[in-house]
Structure 1
C-alpha cells in the first residue's frame, strides 16, 4: 500500500493517492493558490512563429 503524499498515512482506495478527503482538499488548495507549479523552461525561442499566427 502506498503513502499519502500530504500526511504519510496509508492511502484509501476511495481517495487515492491520498488517505482522505481532507488531504485531497489540502493538495487541491495548494494547486489553486500557486504553492505547486509545473516548471517551465522559458527561453527567447518560445515566441510564437509568425507563420502559425495567420
Structure 2
C-alpha cells in the first residue's frame, strides 16, 4: 500500500467511525471539533498498525 492508499483508507474509516460517534455519543449533533476527533482516530489507527510519523 502506498501513502495515498493508507491515508485514503484511514480517512474512510475515520469518517465511518465519526458518523457513529456523532449519532451514538452526540445524539446526532454536528461535531464542531471533528478535525481533532479525526486526527486522534487516525493517529491511534496508525499506531495500532505499527506506523509512525517521522520528520524527514
- TM-score normalised by length of structure 1: 0.30
Select the structure of larger CA radius of gyration.
1
In terms of fraction of residues, the more helix-rich structure is 2
How high is the TM-score relative to the length of structure 2? 0.29
